[in-house]
Amino acid sequence: MNDQGKAYWSATLGLLGKILVIWFICSFGAGILFADALNSIKLGGYPLGFWFAHQGSIYIFIALIFFYAKKMGDIDRKFDVHED
Amino acid sequence: MDLQTTIYLVVGASFALYIGIAIWARAGSTSEFYVAGGGVHPVMNGMATAADWMSAASFISMAGLIANMGYGGGLFLMGWTGGYVLLAMLLAPYLRKFGKFTVPQFIGDRFYSKSASTVAVICLLTASITYIIGQMTGVGVAFSRFLGVSSETGIYVGMGIVFLYAVFGGMKGITYTQVAQYVVLICAYIIPAIFISLHLTGNPIPQLGLGSNMSGTDTALLVRLDQVITDLGFGKYTTTTAGSTLNMFVYTMSLMIGTAGLPHVIMRFFTVPKVADARASAGWALVFIALLYTTAPAVAAMAKYNLHATVNTAVASGGDLYAPENSIKYDERPDWMKRWETTGLLKFEDKNGDGRIQYYNSATKNPDAKAKADAAGWNGNELTVNADIIVLANPEIALLPNWVIALVAAGGLAAALSTAAGLLMAISAAVSHDLIKGVFMPNISEKNELLAGKILMAVAIVISGWLGLNPPGFAAGTVALAFGIAASSLFPAIMMGIFSKKMNKEGAMAGMLAGLFITLFYVFAHKGIFFIKGTEYLGLIGGANSFFGITPEAFGAIGACVNFAVAFLVDKVTKEPPEHIQALVESVRVPRGAKAVDGAHI
């Protein structure tokens, strides 16, 4: 793989890494590991940890995918590997 | 018009709609038959994917299980949506660039070996058949209520209809039929939820209603629900976890990576027009899936509240739950209970002979609840409600109009039938194309290949229906097992195929087999060999959930770790993949040059 290709792939992996960290923190972190601690905070009638497990993480997943699709498109164009 | 007639009318109308659209769409789009989504707007494609994905497990079973499990049920919600993030980022765009039609084709080409593709077919079959067993359980529940028969008879009728549906099959592949199915399914799910949310909290949006106060009080719905059920000896709704935090963690992980590894889901992303579309279409699919998945927790909590309020008048009035006059008399039970008693999925047994229904947790560890129950002369829980009926019974429990009840029946049938048919097509494609034509009989004629596919569908339906009569769990639990199997076998192989240039065929095959074997070993220990009752061997693994308290449904994540580990070890001691395969992996990573999919068939 040439340098350009290597740079493209490492930019891709960098983006994946960032998104996976947020993905993990919202679902496994806030929804499971720290749910008990977060439950002392209330979001309306929802305890916050419960909200993350039953509602919040789903909204964040959607946002993450569209963010990824957009950023990946930018990376494709930057390295000139996008489709016509 | 009476309820049963309304149900027949609405279900009949929904089927007429699907068939009508299928006939209308067929003329202009035979090429679209198998290459779903070509030229279809991404939003439409997202709806179709959502209909394909949301099955009896999501529609019929999931909210009922969440109602039983409380907070811990969130593992289904996170697990079955979070996987789309992995799918969109780790697999879909690269598989689309690769440009083949099935998962075994990808595995076979990337790992330059027909044996690897055969191993992938075995993994795919195990996961898909387990999945269909769960679907048949759901189909049985839906048909038993729909026709007013026992759940066994419901499964027999369901087997027949699923077969017709799958053989007629073509309409499955037409995007617009699936869009119609999605619309019916989502309306059927959300309309009763809106009614119930409005009634209980005054807020018409269920997602907000669940976090609101009870109508006319300052008490939050969830707080009141917690009070009622802890008073009756159940665990607190908002904090009860699924087994342990560790179990909930690995269970969620299993469902997520299983989602990304399930062949019939991945297939949809093989066939979008461009690599960029593969990324965004996962997002659109998730938007439409999330409509149901964010409503489900509201359905669960509110149905649980309404169920308790039905059998104990003190739940709504705020009086003493244990006062004798507050438990309703069996003779005066609402009609919906009588209807569900016919199916055998709701049972009453008058243990203390007072003619009233006491519904509580008699195995409670809460001394306060135990003392109160004993003082009130309660002699054990008297009402058994199968978790799989909660969603279908929900509008009846809330006493909603007949047309809403009928709509929910139509939605449940659409969900169960569309996914069962889709899976059967994936199975028949895998065996007839990837295995028989690809490996054993390369010269088989197209006609015989099709025939083999149809015979396989029939065999798969009979096997899964038979196992569905004594299911290894509730519909959603059985489907979770299927995800665990996909997670432990296919996901790691596909991922290493893309992200590791050096992974060779020996490593991938050893990994898939190791992951599949260890997961099945653990699952069969609990659920019986090939899910046949009476062949469990728990003694051999040291009792139930003996691996750090992890349940068999959650074991897929462990199996996936084993898969990765074995693959890397074997890879280290065997030969590197050939040069042209490494070049292939590099080309897959770059979007430019994506061609139309080849290898489409049937």
Q: What local confidence, expressed as pLDDT, does residue B271 receive?
A: 67
Burial B109-144 (b: 16+ CB within 10 A, else e): bbbebbebbbbbbbbbbbbbbbbbbbbbbbbbbbbb
DSSP-assigned letter for residue B90: I
pLDDT in tens, B308-367: 999 999 998 888 899 888 999 999 999 899 989 988 889 999 999 899 999 999 888 889
Q: Are B141 and B538 in contact (CB under 8 A)?
A: no
Q: Are B77 and A58 in contact (CB under 8 A)?
A: yes
Q: Is the Cβ of A56 closer than 8 Å to some Cβ of chain B?
A: no
- Please report residues of B whose CB lies closer than 8 A to that of A58: 77-78, 81, 290, 293-294
Question: Is ipTM > 0.90 here?
Answer: yes
Taking CA–CA distances from A29, the nearest residue in chain B reads B249
**Segment (H or E) for A42:** strand A42-43
- Judging by DSSP bridges, how do beta strands B383-385 and B346-348 pair with one another? antiparallel
Residue B322 and residue B373: Cα distance in Å, rounded?
Answer: 7
Residues shown for chain A: 84
Q: Are B429 and B453 in contact (CB under 8 A)?
A: yes
Q: How far is A50 from chain B (nearest CA, A)?
A: 6
Is residue A80 predicted with pLDDT exceeding 70? yes
Phi-psi sector, A3: left (phi>0), alpha (psi -120 to 50), beta:
alpha
Higher pLDDT, B572 or A3: B572
Q: Is the Cβ of A24 closer than 8 Å to some Cβ of chain B?
A: no
The interface residues of chain B toward chain A in range 41-100, judged by CB-CB distance below 8 A, are 66, 71, 73-75, 77-78, 81-82, 84-85, 88-90, 93
- Please report residues of B whose CB lies closer than 8 A to that of A31: 74, 78, 252
Structure-derived torsion over alpha carbons of residues B187, B192, B197, B203, reported in degrees to the nearest 10: 40
Task: Tell me the two tokens of residue B357.
Answer: 């229904």
Q: What local confidence, expressed as pLDDT, does residue B30 receive?
A: 39
Residue B202 and residue A16: Cα distance in Å, rounded?
Answer: 42
Q: Is the Cβ of B589 closer than 8 Å to some Cβ of chain A?
A: yes
Which of A12, A27, A65 shows the shortest C-beta gap to B78?
A27
pLDDT in tens, B542-569: 888 888 989 999 999 999 999 999 999 9
Q: Is the Cβ of B592 closer than 8 Å to some Cβ of chain A?
A: yes
Q: What local confidence, expressed as pLDDT, does residue B299 receive?
A: 95
Residue in the structure block whose two tokens are 């994506």: B594
DSSP string, B136-200: HHHHHHHHHHHHT--HHHHHHHHHHHHHHHHHHTHHHH-HHHHHHHHHHHHHHHHHHHHHHHHHH
Residue B127 and residue B109: Cα distance in Å, rounded?
Answer: 21
Residue B599 and residue B503: Cα distance in Å, rounded?
Answer: 24
CB A23 to CB B82 under 8 A? yes
Which residues are paired to B348 by β-bridges?
Answer: B383
Q: Are B67 and B387 in contact (CB under 8 A)?
A: yes
CB B590 to CB A1 under 8 A? no
Q: Are B306 and B196 in contact (CB under 8 A)?
A: yes
With residues binned 3-state (H G I as helix, E B as strand, rest as coil), the percentages for chain A, rounded to 5, are 80, 5, 15
pLDDT along chain B (602 residues), means of 10: 87 85 58 47 80 84 92 95 93 86 86 92 91 85 81 86 69 67 91 94 94 91 93 91 91 94 78 82 93 96 94 89 90 90 90 91 89 90 90 89 89 81 77 79 79 83 85 84 94 94 94 96 90 84 86 94 96 93 91 66 37
Q: What contacts B163, CB < 8 A, 6 or more positions away?
A: B457, B458, B461
The closest of A39, A24, A41 to B71, measured between CA atoms, is: A39
Q: Is the Cβ of B127 closer than 8 Å to some Cβ of chain A?
A: no
The closest of B405, B193, B173, B197 to B292, measured between CA atoms, is: B193
**Segment (H or E) for B292:** helix B275-311
Compute how many other C-beta atoms are within 10 angstroms of the C-beta atom of residue B180: 22
Which of B89, B211, B293 shows the shortest C-beta gap to A46?
B211
pLDDT in tens, A10-69: 999 999 999 999 999 999 999 999 999 999 999 988 999 999 999 999 999 999 999 999
